[in-house]
Each structure stands twice: as C-alpha cells, then as structure tokens.
C-alpha cells in the first residue's frame, strides 16, 4: 500500500511538472501560425513579403532566430529576382533585448560582391524581417561576434542598429 501511494505521488508530481513546463515554455509570444520574411527585388529595390509557417515554438527568441535564418537562406525559387546573402552565410545567434534584435552572422557575409545595392538590399531585407516581429524595432548586425563599422565593400554602416527607416 505504501509503494502504491509513493507511485501515485510520483506520477502526480510528474504530471504537474509536464503541465507547468508546457504552459511556461509553449506560451506564445508571437501570435498566429506564420511570420513574414522579406526580400528585396534586384530590379527595382522593392520589398517582397514571403509568408512562412511557424512550427510549434512560438516564443520570441526561437521565432526571431527562425526568421533571421529564413531571410539569410533566401526565398524559394518561386520568388523571382531577389538579392541574396553570399552562399554559406549562416545565422550564428539572435538575441533580443528590449526592442533591439542582435543578429550574429558568419564570416561568409563578408564575401559580399555586387556593390552598394546588394550590400544594402540584403540588410534591408533582414531588418524588415526582424522588425516585423513583435517588440523588435531595430537590428544590430555582428559578424562572428564582432561589431564592424562596415562590410568590406564599405557601402553600409553596420556599427549602429538598423531601422526600417534606414532606407
């Protein structure tokens, strides 16, 4: 009888722990089942929205990393002539503090070719994507954990946070 009570107690504690864990870690901060990732059309520099479905993780940290990763990876081939990040560029991390998202990119982003339009367009797309998320108003770019004044092309200053109004 004593073992049965102990087992019931353990099961109840486990059930309560699972319920609390699911509520706490699954409580959505990002409403809806999709986000919008933006790209910039190479021909006219217009912003092209692309709706992307979200998985089960809806907390702002997970969604912001997912959004940045989708933007850097590029759109599907069905979205036409858009400016893309250099091949191999990865999102290393995304942190959100207040209204600022800090996106740390891999060093491949420094291999950018194509002049000011491409350099500006990639970061315009990333800034629009991140600031479309709740609470985020600006984006700080890091490369391999370092804040750079510009990329090697020197066309866009990235030492200060970027805003939608930066373009």
Highest mean pLDDT among 15-19, 112-116, 163-167: 163-167
Band (28; pLDDT cuts 50, 70, 90): very low
**pTM over the 0.85 mark:** no
Q: Please state, in angstroms and rounded to a whole number, the distance separating the CA atoms of residues 126 and 103.
A: 9
Under a CB-based contact definition with an 8 Å cutoff, are residues 51 and 42 in contact? no
Tell me the pairing of strands 47-53 and 138-143.
unpaired
Q: Please state, in angstroms and rounded to a whole number, the distance separating the CA atoms of residues 72 and 126.
A: 7
Least trusted range by pLDDT, from 63-77, 105-119, 139-153: 105-119
Q: Please state, in angstroms and rounded to a whole number, the distance separating the CA atoms of residues 147 and 91.
A: 15
Under a CB-based contact definition with an 8 Å cutoff, are residues 70 and 62 in contact? no
Q: Please state, in angstroms and rounded to a whole number, the distance separating the CA atoms of residues 141 and 139.
A: 6
How would you class 9 by CB atoms within 10 Å of its CB: exposed for 0-12, middle for 13-18, buried for 19 or more? Answer: exposed
Q: Please state, in angstroms and rounded to a whole number, the distance separating the CA atoms of residues 126 and 84.
A: 11
Report the chain's terminal Cα–Cα distance, integer Å: 72
Give residue 130's pLDDT.
Answer: 96
Give residue 114's pLDDT.
Answer: 60
Alpha helices in 27-114 (DSSP H): 60-73
Which sequence spans correspond to the domains of the chain? 1-27, 31-166
Q: Inform me whether the pLDDT recorded for 115 exceeds 70.
A: no
Tell me the pairing of strands 91-97 and 100-105.
antiparallel
């Amino acid at each position: 009888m004593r073992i049965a009570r102990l087992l019931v107690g353990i099961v109840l504690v486990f059930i309560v722990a699972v319920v609390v864990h699911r509520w706490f870690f699954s409580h959505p901060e990002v409403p809806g089942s999709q986000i919008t990732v933006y790209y910039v059309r190479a021909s006219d520099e217009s912003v092209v929205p692309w709706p992307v479905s979200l998985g089960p993780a809806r907390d702002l940290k997970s969604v912001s990393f997912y959004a940045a990763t989708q933007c850097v990876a590029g759109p599907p081939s069905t979205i036409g002539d858009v400016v893309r990040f250099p091949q191999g560029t990865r999102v290393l991390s995304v942190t959100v503090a207040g209204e600022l998202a800090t996106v740390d990119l891999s060093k491949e982003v420094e291999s950018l070719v194509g002049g000011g339009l491409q350099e500006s367009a990639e970061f315009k797309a990333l800034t629009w994507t991140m600031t479309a998320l709740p609470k985020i108003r600006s984006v700080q770019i890091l490369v391999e954990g370092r804040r750079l004044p510009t990329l090697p092309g020197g066309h866009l200053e990235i030492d200060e946070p970027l805003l939608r109004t930066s373009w």
